[in-house]
Amino acid sequence: MRLGPLQIKEDLMDWQDRLADLRQRIAKKEKILIAYSGGVDSSLLASVASDVLKENALCVILDSETLPRSEFLHAGELARSLGLNFEVRKCSLLSLEGFANNPPNRCYFCKKASFGELFSLARDRGIDCIADGLNQSDYDDYRPGIAACREMGIWHPFVDAGISKKDIREIARNMGLSFWDKPSSACLSSRIPYGEKIRVDNLLMVEQAEDFLKSLGFIQVRVRAHGKLARIEFLEEDLQRALNCRVEISRKFRFIGFLYAAMDLSGFRSGSMNEMLERETGRDIRNF
Instruction: Give 7-57 pLDDT, tens digit per residue.
Output: 444 554 789 999 999 999 999 999 999 999 999 999 999 999 999 999 999
Name the nearest CA neighbour of 269 among 285, 247, 287: 285
Give CA separation, 85 vs 37, 55, 172, in Å.
Answer: 14, 6, 19
Q: Are 33 and 133 in contact (CB under 8 A)?
A: no
Which of the four pLDDT bands, split at 50, 70 and 90, describes residue 142?
Answer: confident
pTM score over 0.75: yes
**What is the pLDDT, as a whole number, of residue 252?**
98
Domains along the chain with CATH numbers: 5-181 (3.40.50.620), 188-287 (3.30.70.2210)
Hey, CA dihedral for 107, 46, 66, 126, is it positive or negative? negative
Q: Are 224 and 261 in contact (CB under 8 A)?
A: no
- Each residue's pLDDT tens digit, 197-244: 999 999 999 999 999 999 999 999 999 999 999 999 999 999 999 999
**What is the pLDDT, as a whole number, of residue 5?**
46
CA 206 to chain centre: 16
Q: Quickly count: other Cβ atoms within 10 Å of residue 81's Cβ.
A: 10
Planar angle of CA 178, 182, 187, nearest 5 degrees: 135
Give CA separation, 162 vs 13, 67, 149, 167, 174, in Å.
Answer: 10, 28, 18, 9, 18
Name the nearest CA neighbour of 228 among 256, 260, 267, 206: 260
**What is the pLDDT, as a whole number, of residue 128?**
96
Angular region, 37: left φ>0, alpha ψ -120 to 50, beta rest: alpha
